[in-house]
Amino acid sequence: MNHPPTPPSVWSNLKHFFAFGFGVGALPVAPGTWGTLLAVPIYLLVHNLPLWIYLLHTAALLVIGVWLCHATASELGVDDHPGIVWDEIVGFLIAMTAAPSGWLWIVLGFGLFRLFDIWKPWPINVIDRNLKGGLGIMMDDVLAGIYAFIILQAVVFILK
């Protein structure tokens, strides 16, 4: 799927740069996947924090993301430019909440999050179609992250 060209402001406007995941959203193919890949090293930096701090960190990124994505989308004149990937970062962090350490869990969390973010089962698809602005940009990925979290934790429960 072709996505709109990357606006030059991604490289000159700090809000746009952050919303575009430090520029990875400007990649021409699969920006959501690249944004989720960017979330992996961010996760690795915070995964050993106490759970309450991890949750506080993720919640702060979510709140910032609502504002950041809304401002960027408004300034670009689009509802949700595919290059805006801050939402993928937060969604992946939600998916990985309380996940065991190890690459197996990171890969599984990555795959589950991407599955739900692309597939958009109910009610993600309803949110994606009907909720606009920064909250709309963030919430479909928040729900995809919650779905991935539930499945990941179920696998952990079964296997451990």
pTM of the model: 0.96
145-158 confidence digits (pLDDT tens): 999 999 999 999 99
- pLDDT for the residue 2: 59
Amino acid 39: pLDDT? 98
8-55 pLDDT per residue, tens: 899 999 999 999 999 999 998 999 999 999 999 999 999 999 999 999
DSSP the chain: ---PPPPGGGGT-HHHHHHTTTTGGGSSS-HHHHHHHHHHHHHHHHTTS-HHHHHHHHHHHHHHHHHHHHHHHHHHT-S--TT--HHHHHHHHHHTTTPPSSHHHHHHHHHHHHHHHHH--TTHHHHHHH--HHHHHHHHHHHHHHHHHHHHHHHHHHH-
pLDDT digits (tens, 9 = 90+) for 70-103: 999 999 999 889 999 999 999 999 999 999 999 9
Amino acid 73: pLDDT: 95
